[in-house]
Structures are given as structure tokens and as C-alpha cells.
């Protein structure tokens, strides 16, 4: 029973982390695309690498998803 519960909690952390990576990467890619389409393009927009910005967004999403899942797991364990 404990192993099954731990596997479910691990799957929660993994799925939230993957979701965070997808959402963070997509949001960063969209932001960099919108930056270039803006009527007033800044030098920061021109010098940033869209791939690097996407990777940064993905890593931020990974961290946010993992922290959110761990917080949910912590709360669930303290309610039991």
C-alpha cells in the first residue's frame, strides 16, 4: 500500500514538472516571438536568443511544477 501511494505521489511530481516544462517553454517562445512583432523593438529583444530564452522558460517551468507538486504532496501527507 505504501509503495503504491509513493508511486502515485511520484507520478504527481513528474506530471506537474513535465507540464511546467511545456507551459514555461511555450510561454517563453511566444514572448520572444511577440517581442519581435512589437511596434517598438528594443535592443534587448534583438540580442536575446529565442532558443536560450525558451530553455530558461522550460527550466523555470520545471522548477515551478516540481515545487507545486511537492507542496501538494506535503499538504496531502499532513492531512492524513
Q: Please check whether residue 71 lies inside any domain of the structure.
A: yes
Q: Please check whether residue 10 lies inside any domain of the structure.
A: no
The parent domain of residue 53 ranges over 18-79
Q: What is the pTM of this model?
A: 0.78
Spatial contact of 62 and 28, defined as CB atoms under 8 Å apart: no
Q: Please check whether residue 6 lies inside any domain of the structure.
A: no
| Length of the chain in terms of residues written | 80
Largest CA distance in the chain: 59
Task: Considering only residues 21 and 9, tell me which one the structure prediction assigns the higher pLDDT.
Answer: 21
Q: What is the pLDDT of residues 23-73, one digit of tens each?
A: 999 999 888 888 878 788 788 887 888 889 899 999 999 999 999 998 988
Total structural domains in the chain?
A: 1
Amino acid at each position: 500500500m505504501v509503495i503504491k501511494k509513493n508511486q502515485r505521489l511520484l507520478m504527481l511530481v513528474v506530471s506537474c514538472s513535465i507540464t511546467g516544462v511545456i507551459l514555461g517553454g511555450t510561454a517563453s517562445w511566444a514572448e520572444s516571438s511577440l517581442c519581435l512583432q512589437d511596434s517598438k523593438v528594443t535592443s534587448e529583444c534583438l540580442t536575446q536568443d529565442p532558443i536560450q530564452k525558451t530553455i530558461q522558460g522550460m527550466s523555470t517551468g520545471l522548477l515551478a511544477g516540481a515545487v507545486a507538486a511537492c507542496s501538494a504532496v506535503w499538504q496531502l501527507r499532513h492531512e492524513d
